[in-house]
Amino acid sequence: MSKKKDITLNINGRDHNLSVDPRWTLADTIRDHCGQTGTHLGCEHGVCGACTVLVDDSPVRSCLMFGIQADGKKIRTVEGLANGSEYHPLQKAFMENHALQCGYCTPGFLMLATGVLEAQPDISDDELNDVLSSNLCRCTGYANIIKAVRAAREEMRKTS
Protein backbone atom coordinates (compact mmCIF):
# COMPACT_ATOMS: atom_id res chain seq x y z
CA MET A 1 0.00 0.00 0.00
CA SER A 2 1.17 3.49 -0.77
CA LYS A 3 1.29 6.39 1.64
CA LYS A 4 -2.05 7.78 2.70
CA LYS A 5 -2.77 11.47 2.37
CA ASP A 6 -5.13 13.69 4.28
CA ILE A 7 -7.81 15.38 2.25
CA THR A 8 -11.16 17.07 2.70
CA LEU A 9 -14.03 16.02 0.48
CA ASN A 10 -16.96 18.35 0.43
CA ILE A 11 -19.97 16.22 -0.43
CA ASN A 12 -23.34 17.91 -0.64
CA GLY A 13 -22.06 20.75 1.49
CA ARG A 14 -20.64 18.59 4.22
CA ASP A 15 -16.88 18.26 4.78
CA HIS A 16 -15.44 14.78 5.18
CA ASN A 17 -11.88 14.74 6.52
CA LEU A 18 -10.20 11.59 5.36
CA SER A 19 -6.90 9.89 5.04
CA VAL A 20 -6.95 8.33 1.58
CA ASP A 21 -4.92 5.85 -0.36
CA PRO A 22 -4.23 7.69 -3.63
CA ARG A 23 -5.51 4.74 -5.64
CA TRP A 24 -9.01 4.85 -4.20
CA THR A 25 -11.33 6.00 -6.93
CA LEU A 26 -13.59 8.92 -6.13
CA ALA A 27 -16.52 6.51 -6.30
CA ASP A 28 -15.02 4.16 -3.72
CA THR A 29 -14.02 7.07 -1.54
CA ILE A 30 -17.52 8.52 -1.53
CA ARG A 31 -19.19 5.16 -1.02
CA ASP A 32 -16.90 3.30 1.32
CA HIS A 33 -15.27 6.09 3.27
CA CYS A 34 -17.93 8.79 3.40
CA GLY A 35 -20.92 6.48 3.71
CA GLN A 36 -22.68 7.98 0.71
CA THR A 37 -23.73 4.83 -1.12
CA GLY A 38 -26.27 6.45 -3.43
CA THR A 39 -23.58 6.68 -6.11
CA HIS A 40 -23.38 3.31 -7.83
CA LEU A 41 -20.76 1.34 -9.70
CA GLY A 42 -21.77 -0.50 -12.84
CA CYS A 43 -18.51 -1.03 -14.69
CA GLU A 44 -15.59 0.83 -13.11
CA HIS A 45 -14.24 1.58 -16.56
CA GLY A 46 -16.14 4.62 -17.63
CA VAL A 47 -18.79 3.20 -19.92
CA CYS A 48 -22.01 2.85 -17.94
CA GLY A 49 -22.36 6.17 -16.14
CA ALA A 50 -23.92 4.69 -12.98
CA CYS A 51 -21.22 6.47 -10.97
CA THR A 52 -21.88 9.95 -12.38
CA VAL A 53 -21.56 12.75 -9.80
CA LEU A 54 -21.11 16.48 -10.11
CA VAL A 55 -17.63 17.80 -9.39
CA ASP A 56 -17.69 21.58 -9.29
CA ASP A 57 -21.03 21.29 -11.06
CA SER A 58 -19.78 19.22 -14.02
CA PRO A 59 -21.11 15.69 -14.41
CA VAL A 60 -18.18 13.28 -14.38
CA ARG A 61 -17.57 9.57 -13.97
CA SER A 62 -16.50 9.10 -10.36
CA CYS A 63 -14.91 5.76 -11.24
CA LEU A 64 -12.44 7.58 -13.49
CA MET A 65 -11.16 10.04 -10.91
CA PHE A 66 -9.21 9.38 -7.77
CA GLY A 67 -10.64 10.56 -4.50
CA ILE A 68 -7.47 12.48 -3.81
CA GLN A 69 -8.06 14.56 -6.95
CA ALA A 70 -11.31 15.87 -5.51
CA ASP A 71 -9.64 17.35 -2.45
CA GLY A 72 -11.23 20.73 -1.83
CA LYS A 73 -13.70 20.38 -4.68
CA LYS A 74 -17.46 20.64 -4.41
CA ILE A 75 -19.04 17.24 -4.97
CA ARG A 76 -22.74 16.69 -5.41
CA THR A 77 -24.34 13.28 -5.30
CA VAL A 78 -27.88 11.99 -5.48
CA GLU A 79 -28.19 12.24 -1.71
CA GLY A 80 -27.98 16.01 -2.00
CA LEU A 81 -30.51 16.44 -4.77
CA ALA A 82 -33.68 16.87 -2.76
CA ASN A 83 -34.15 20.04 -0.79
CA GLY A 84 -35.03 18.61 2.60
CA SER A 85 -38.29 16.74 2.07
CA GLU A 86 -38.89 18.45 -1.24
CA TYR A 87 -37.93 16.42 -4.27
CA HIS A 88 -35.83 17.91 -7.03
CA PRO A 89 -37.88 18.33 -10.24
CA LEU A 90 -35.87 15.53 -11.81
CA GLN A 91 -36.61 13.15 -8.96
CA LYS A 92 -40.27 13.97 -9.24
CA ALA A 93 -40.27 13.57 -12.98
CA PHE A 94 -38.52 10.21 -12.75
CA MET A 95 -41.20 8.91 -10.39
CA GLU A 96 -44.09 10.36 -12.37
CA ASN A 97 -42.85 9.02 -15.66
CA HIS A 98 -41.80 5.58 -14.44
CA ALA A 99 -38.25 6.32 -15.51
CA LEU A 100 -36.78 3.69 -13.22
CA GLN A 101 -37.29 0.03 -12.57
CA CYS A 102 -34.46 -1.44 -10.52
CA GLY A 103 -33.16 2.06 -9.86
CA TYR A 104 -29.53 1.12 -10.08
CA CYS A 105 -28.73 3.44 -12.98
CA THR A 106 -30.99 6.18 -11.60
CA PRO A 107 -28.53 8.19 -9.47
CA GLY A 108 -26.18 8.40 -12.45
CA PHE A 109 -28.92 9.59 -14.79
CA LEU A 110 -30.20 12.07 -12.22
CA MET A 111 -26.79 13.65 -11.67
CA LEU A 112 -25.98 13.70 -15.37
CA ALA A 113 -29.29 15.38 -16.15
CA THR A 114 -28.92 17.82 -13.25
CA GLY A 115 -25.51 18.87 -14.47
CA VAL A 116 -26.55 19.37 -18.04
CA LEU A 117 -29.88 21.08 -17.32
CA GLU A 118 -28.22 23.50 -14.93
CA ALA A 119 -25.58 24.35 -17.52
CA GLN A 120 -27.95 24.43 -20.50
CA PRO A 121 -31.53 25.05 -19.40
CA ASP A 122 -32.60 25.43 -23.02
CA ILE A 123 -30.92 22.33 -24.35
CA SER A 124 -32.70 20.85 -27.36
CA ASP A 125 -34.26 17.39 -27.44
CA ASP A 126 -31.59 16.10 -29.78
CA GLU A 127 -28.73 17.42 -27.69
CA LEU A 128 -30.35 15.96 -24.61
CA ASN A 129 -30.59 12.54 -26.25
CA ASP A 130 -26.94 12.80 -27.13
CA VAL A 131 -25.98 13.61 -23.54
CA LEU A 132 -28.19 10.92 -22.04
CA SER A 133 -26.82 8.29 -24.39
CA SER A 134 -23.68 8.31 -22.27
CA ASN A 135 -25.35 6.29 -19.53
CA LEU A 136 -26.67 2.75 -19.72
CA CYS A 137 -29.92 1.47 -18.33
CA ARG A 138 -30.77 -2.18 -18.68
CA CYS A 139 -34.35 -2.04 -17.42
CA THR A 140 -36.37 0.80 -18.84
CA GLY A 141 -35.56 0.91 -22.53
CA TYR A 142 -34.89 4.64 -21.98
CA ALA A 143 -38.18 6.01 -23.36
CA ASN A 144 -39.43 7.04 -19.94
CA ILE A 145 -36.06 8.45 -18.93
CA ILE A 146 -36.21 10.75 -21.93
CA LYS A 147 -39.76 11.78 -21.03
CA ALA A 148 -38.80 12.44 -17.44
CA VAL A 149 -35.77 14.56 -18.25
CA ARG A 150 -37.74 16.58 -20.78
CA ALA A 151 -40.51 17.13 -18.25
CA ALA A 152 -37.98 18.25 -15.65
CA ARG A 153 -36.37 20.58 -18.17
CA GLU A 154 -39.71 22.39 -18.56
CA GLU A 155 -40.22 22.46 -14.80
CA MET A 156 -36.72 23.75 -14.09
CA ARG A 157 -37.11 26.48 -16.69
CA LYS A 158 -40.26 27.65 -14.98
CA THR A 159 -38.73 27.84 -11.53
CA SER A 160 -35.35 29.27 -12.48
Q: Which is nearer to ligand FES, 94 or 151 (CB)?
A: 94
DSSP state letters, 82-130? SBTTBPPHHHHHHHHTT--SS-SSHHHHHHHHHHHHHH-TT--HHHHHH
Per-residue x/- mask for ligand FAD, residues 45 to 84, rule CB under 6 A? -xx-------------------------------------
Q: Which is nearer to ligand FAD, 47 or 143 (CB)?
A: 47
**Residue 89 in the binding site for other proteins (CB under 8 A):** no
DSSP state letters, 130-154? HHHTTS--SSS-SHHHHHHHHHHHH
Residues 30-59 that bind other proteins (CB under 8 A): 31-32, 36-50, 52, 58-59
3-state SS assignment for residue 158 = helix
Among other proteins, ligand FAD, ligand FES, none, the one that 77 touches (CB under a kind-dependent 5 to 8 A) is other proteins
Q: How far is the CB of 3 from ligand FES (least distance, A)?
A: 26
Q: Can you tell me the distance from the alpha carbon of 62 to that of 77, in angstroms, rounded to the nearest whole number?
A: 10
| Contact set with ligand FAD (CB under 6 A) | 46-47
